[in-house]
Chains A and B, each alone.
Chain A
Amino acid sequence: MEKLGIYIHIPFCIKKCDYCDFVSVKPNEEMIERYINSLINEMKIYSKLIGGYLVDSIFIGGGTPSSIDIKYIYRLFEILNNSFNIASDSEITIEVNPGTIDNKKIKAYKENGINRISLGVQSLNDKILYNIGRIHNKEDIINTIKLIKLNGFDNLNTDLMIGLPGQTLPDVINSLEQIIELKPTHISLYSLIIEEGTKLYELEKNGKLILPSEDEERLMYHDAKEFLEENGYLQYEISNFSQNGFECKHNLKYWTLKPYIGLGLNSHSNIWNYRYWNYSNFTDYNEALNRGSLPISNKEFISTKSRITEFMILGIRLNSGINREEFYKEFGTDIDYFYKDAIQKNKDLGLIYEDGRSIKLTKKGLDFSNIVELDFYI
């Protein structure tokens, strides 16, 4: 049976973080109620379409999924379980904000079969947390992790960020030291990107944001990577580290071109040779589902050429790299047919190297992955 990942978007936040450009709003109960009903309708439509798939990962992301009442979680899982074939060893993740969680919620997640928590930590420095508009402090983070552990969750991811306003290299290492004390199985380490339309973007535009220099940010990245590896967290993607065997199954689907569907506002799907995405405003989304149709806003047919580009630009970001045999198996053509020059050029630039039959980013390549990806875009 072909495997499938399901992403479910919960677009609600008590307060939007200053760096965030994901779709989310501050909700009222009525909005949540209506939205959950739409999600349920969406699942029901899909249940007829993807009966032949075995769902082996579910990821509830946001927004802030932990901000909504547990009664909604119960309802969602009731329908999920009734609508799809869910594998018994599935990875089922929910994103949690330390400022919107309590013991009751964590218990409910466990009861519903959720087996992985992804916690938005970002930093363990209270001042920096304040600088980026998080609603929690360091103490909330530590308490939340303790609660998660107490409830028997053994698979925990913590999201951390580097390059934050006011952050220094010692801050980063300090946060990491404290985090690994709490023994998460997985750590994501994202570089801050100032996106248009965010509060930080406005501040930067007006010259009111003090960010680490590029050199400092790269030092943070490489030192953090080294620190994590020394402590048993192996890098498997540019921004992702895990203990052995705890790579995020769901995210790996994104990077290895495996099929997934996205439910909810602005969610993206990759299935049946298409990438398509849902409406990003509530009215269109709810109305489509009220009519009984999928709330698809737009779609992109993935030609073989496009698939090759995806295979390359996503594959190069993984530590396992791009395997020549796998490329041949996937596309029936030698990788050199498309990429001989690009591979040579980037080898010459010192950005990639060949490890056996796999093409991988060098240490320098991690800093300039965009250059490589651009050459792999055909």
Chain B
Amino acid sequence: MHVDKENIRNFSIIAHIDHGKSTLADRLIEKTGMMTQREMQEQVLDKMDLERERGITIKLKAVRLNYKANNGKEYIFNLIDTPGHVDFNYEVSRSLAACEGAILVVDATQGVEAQTLANVYLAIDQDLEIFPVINKVDLPSARPEEVAQEIEDIIGIDASFAPRISAKEGLNIDQVLEGIVERIPAPTGDENKPLKALIFDSYYDPYKGVTCYIRVFDGKIYPGMKIKMMSTGKEFEVTEVGISTSKQIPMDFLSAGEVGYVAASIKNVKEARVGDTITDALNPTEKPLPGYKKVTPMVYCGVYPAEGEDFNSVRDALEKLQVNDASLVFEPETSQALGFGFRCGFLGLLHMEIIQERLEREFDLNIITTAPSVIYKVHKTDGEIIDIQNPSNLPKPSEIDYIEEPIVSASIMTPSEYVGAIMELCQNKRGVFLNMEYLDEKRVTLKYELPLNEVIYDFFDALKSKTRGYASFDYELKGYNRSELVKLDILINGELVDAFSIIVHEEKAYERGRSIAEKLVDIIPRHQFAIPIQAAIGSKIIARETIRALRKDVLAKCYGGDITRKKKLLEKQKEGKKRMRQIGSVEVPQVAFLSVLKYDEKK
């Protein structure tokens, strides 16, 4: 069953969102006859519902296809799927590292886009052969020749041979299959050397333990073998190796050049981190594969059980998610307003949203999340430097010498007509303009340095709204800058609500305080007494709004003998009250904690 390395092709598909990556993957799977149409869900590689809904791939997977080429030889294709979002950049780079080539899908109507470029550069960094494919040529607005020229001009690779396809219609897919054989190099490596394999994905399987997707570079891996994770030195005994087609098929071994899975009674994905190198514990390789890094969270927020929800169920769910997601971190914390909960760290905002949604959907939990925060470096007057991500832990102003905040380098690719609006937005977000490059007469890349704490607030929503969704945004952490930051507190009826506290730039404090107070006035229902909502820095009140007292709360509806309706109304109200948090004598709806983060169109 093992095939000569010469006949193996390991590749990824890279594309901008909606350019047809998943559809092309489906066609390749279908054409190589691995699955019947019926077996194949619409997009086989996207397993999780959530991912499918959002049209993005979060976790990477690999699938093995058999192809008989026009030259009469049998080939094995290992198609390695990559996540498509900046939050998961590292995982993308690791899965690309497992390949020799990448199919670049470009939409014949849209041309080269920001994200295409970001991933192409990642692929070029890994020395991959880029095989361009121009998709959606069946559309009336397709301009394949121009797009081919664009690929050559912008990316600098020859696109003259690029197949003109329609993945949706199944047009010219055979050219892609032949292209994979011809264009993408066969893997190299030596099966007689000590084992050297790259983990490019891992997930938890309740029966097998952690399953790692690996690419073997040198040597062999087989059941019974003692293996070692090179970053941690931990050793395990292999229980199963195999390949995944429509299902997992166990094999006797995997050898140099091959892609497959390994199970070794590993309890937690933390012990099988993406990017790590697996070697033979008894006969280890000298040097691990390059590029391993432990991913660190960039964005933090508090996750609390909502009223009636159990703290332990939230912890269990987070633990279960963590087993599958080594980049999720959490630790218990306490809030005066929200009780016992967790401070969680995420790769980015999307990662945060996905985890929140999974807690709610997959675990059916009712949770409250606080405003996202970043890690600040607080230089204290006594010389100590501490990392702070929960605003409540910020030391007293008298103990702070100065604070540094994380800065990202951001690149925003946009049609040129939105440049003005984006510059205004970045200016507003304390951005520092670096440069501007015209990709062609219509499209521009703007480079800015932006404080991450502005990016996590409502930058994405604002950018989307100001550019009607046409701009794309990419960022990476650049470093820390000293900044005039203050802690902004919100007081409801005179009581400080720690869950609303945020760290903001001094100049933004008034505006943010006012906007939060105004939103709370809309969201908190009126009580029998007037409720002042104040925004404060230390003891100084900088903004104040008032929720008027309710004068009347009567529900007639018991005339005509219909008592059931009255009971239903009361029941509904009772349910609504369950979603309230009691803060002093004020009932605050849980949505209040989220809505203060939302982008406000008026601004």
- A and B from one complex: yes
Q: Chain A: residues with CB nearer than 8 A to chain B?
A: 7, 22, 61, 190-191, 193, 214-215, 217-218, 238-239, 251, 254-255, 260, 262, 267-270, 275, 277, 300, 306, 309-310, 313-314, 317, 349, 366-371, 373-374, 377
B347 to chain A, nearest CB (A): 43
Q: Does B559 contact A (CB under 8 A)?
A: yes
| List of A residues within 8 angstroms of B562 by Cβ | 268, 277
What is the chain A residue whose CB lies nearest that of B568?
Answer: A300
A-contact bits for B516-552, CB 8 A (1 contact / 0 none): 0000000000001000000000000000000000111
The answer to whether B567 touches A310, judged by C-beta atoms less than 8 angstroms apart, is yes
The answer to whether B554 touches A313, judged by C-beta atoms less than 8 angstroms apart, is no
Count chain B residues whose beta carbon lies closer than 8 angstroms to a beta carbon of A. 23
The answer to whether B556 touches A217, judged by C-beta atoms less than 8 angstroms apart, is no
Q: Does B553 contact A (CB under 8 A)?
A: yes
| List of A residues within 8 angstroms of B554 by Cβ | 191, 238, 366-370
Give A125 to B574 CA distance when docked, in angstroms. 39
| List of A residues within 8 angstroms of B343 by Cβ | none
The answer to whether B564 touches A300, judged by C-beta atoms less than 8 angstroms apart, is yes
The answer to whether B563 touches A275, judged by C-beta atoms less than 8 angstroms apart, is yes
| List of A residues within 8 angstroms of B571 by Cβ | 377
Give A190 to B550 CA distance when docked, in angstroms. 19
Give A61 to B566 CA distance when docked, in angstroms. 19
| List of B residues within 8 angstroms of A255 by Cβ | 558
The answer to whether B567 touches A370, judged by C-beta atoms less than 8 angstroms apart, is no
| List of A residues within 8 angstroms of B577 by Cβ | 374
Across the interface, B574 reaches (CB within 8 A) one of A7, A270, A377, namely A377
The answer to whether B552 touches A214, judged by C-beta atoms less than 8 angstroms apart, is yes
Q: Does B555 contact A (CB under 8 A)?
A: yes
Q: Does B283 contact A (CB under 8 A)?
A: no
| List of A residues within 8 angstroms of B561 by Cβ | 7, 254, 260, 262, 267-270
The answer to whether B553 touches A254, judged by C-beta atoms less than 8 angstroms apart, is no
| List of B residues within 8 angstroms of A277 by Cβ | 562, 564
A264 to chain B, nearest CB (A): 11
- Given A374-B573, A377-B574, A314:B563 Cβ within 8 A: yes
Q: Does B570 contact A (CB under 8 A)?
A: yes
Q: Does B560 contact A (CB under 8 A)?
A: yes
Across the interface, B528 reaches (CB within 8 A) one of A191, A215, A349, A373, namely A349
| List of B residues within 8 angstroms of A191 by Cβ | 554, 556
| List of B residues within 8 angstroms of A317 by Cβ | 558
The answer to whether B556 touches A190, judged by C-beta atoms less than 8 angstroms apart, is yes
Q: Chain B: residues with CB nearer than 8 A to chain A?
A: 528, 550-564, 566-567, 570-571, 573-574, 577
| List of B residues within 8 angstroms of A251 by Cβ | 559
The answer to whether A374 touches B570, judged by C-beta atoms less than 8 angstroms apart, is yes
Give A306 to B571 CA distance when docked, in angstroms. 11
The answer to whether A61 touches B560, judged by C-beta atoms less than 8 angstroms apart, is yes
The answer to whether A268 touches B564, judged by C-beta atoms less than 8 angstroms apart, is yes
What is the chain B residue whose CB lies nearest that of A219?
Answer: B551
What is the chain B residue whose CB lies nearest that of A238?
Answer: B554
The answer to whether A374 touches B574, judged by C-beta atoms less than 8 angstroms apart, is yes
Give A360 to B346 CA distance when docked, in angstroms. 54
The answer to whether B560 touches A22, judged by C-beta atoms less than 8 angstroms apart, is yes
Give A255 to B556 CA distance when docked, in angstroms. 12
Give A373 to B563 CA distance when docked, in angstroms. 13
| List of B residues within 8 angstroms of A218 by Cβ | 551-552
A262 to chain B, nearest CB (A): 6
| List of A residues within 8 angstroms of B560 by Cβ | 7, 22, 61, 254, 268
| List of B residues within 8 angstroms of A270 by Cβ | 561, 563
Give A61 to B571 CA distance when docked, in angstroms. 28
A23 to chain B, nearest CB (A): 10
The 6 A-B pairs with the shortest beta carbon distances in the complex, nearest first, are A214-B551, A370-B553, A268-B561, A370-B555, A377-B570, A268-B562
Give A215 to B560 CA distance when docked, in angstroms. 28
Give A78 to B173 CA distance when docked, in angstroms. 84
The answer to whether B558 touches A268, judged by C-beta atoms less than 8 angstroms apart, is no
| List of A residues within 8 angstroms of B567 by Cβ | 306, 309-310, 313, 377
Give A53 to B571 CA distance when docked, in angstroms. 33
What is the chain B residue whose CB lies nearest that of A260?
Answer: B561
Give A238 to B552 CA distance when docked, in angstroms. 13
Give A38 to B65 CA distance when docked, in angstroms. 71
| List of B residues within 8 angstroms of A215 by Cβ | 551
| List of B residues within 8 angstroms of A366 by Cβ | 554
| List of B residues within 8 angstroms of A374 by Cβ | 570, 573-574, 577
The answer to whether A369 touches B553, judged by C-beta atoms less than 8 angstroms apart, is yes
Give A7 to B563 CA distance when docked, in angstroms. 14
Give A260 to B574 CA distance when docked, in angstroms. 28
The answer to whether A368 touches B563, judged by C-beta atoms less than 8 angstroms apart, is no
What is the chain B residue whose CB lies nearest that of A193?
Answer: B556
The answer to whether B555 touches A369, judged by C-beta atoms less than 8 angstroms apart, is yes
B37 to chain A, nearest CB (A): 45
Give A349 to B566 CA distance when docked, in angstroms. 23
**B556, B561, B563, B570: residue with the most chain A Cβ atoms closer than 10 Å:** B561
Give A254 to B563 CA distance when docked, in angstroms. 8
| List of B residues within 8 angstroms of A254 by Cβ | 558-561, 563
The answer to whether A368 touches B528, judged by C-beta atoms less than 8 angstroms apart, is yes
The answer to whether A371 touches B553, judged by C-beta atoms less than 8 angstroms apart, is yes
What is the chain A residue whose CB lies nearest that of B527?
Answer: A371
A211 to chain B, nearest CB (A): 12
**B554, B570, B574: residue with the most chain A Cβ atoms closer than 10 Å:** B554
Give A216 to B584 CA distance when docked, in angstroms. 30
- Given A368-B528, A374-B570, A310:B552 Cβ within 8 A: no
6 contacts across the A-B interface (CB closer than 8 A) = A7-B560, A254-B563, A349-B528, A366-B554, A368-B550, A377-B570
| List of A residues within 8 angstroms of B551 by Cβ | 214-215, 217-218, 367
A320 to chain B, nearest CB (A): 16
The answer to whether A310 touches B574, judged by C-beta atoms less than 8 angstroms apart, is no
A13 to chain B, nearest CB (A): 15
Give A269 to B556 CA distance when docked, in angstroms. 19
Give A377 to B577 CA distance when docked, in angstroms. 12
- Given A309-B567, A310-B567, A377-B567, A368:B558 Cβ within 8 A: no
| List of A residues within 8 angstroms of B559 by Cβ | 190, 239, 251, 254
Give A277 to B558 CA distance when docked, in angstroms. 14
What is the chain A residue whose CB lies nearest that of B557?
Answer: A193
B569 to chain A, nearest CB (A): 9
Give A367 to B560 CA distance when docked, in angstroms. 22
- Given A254-B561, A270-B561, A377-B574, A313:B566 Cβ within 8 A: yes
What is the chain B residue whose CB lies nearest that of A61?
Answer: B560
Give A214 to B564 CA distance when docked, in angstroms. 27
B507 to chain A, nearest CB (A): 37
Give A260 to B561 CA distance when docked, in angstroms. 9
| List of B residues within 8 angstroms of A373 by Cβ | 555, 570
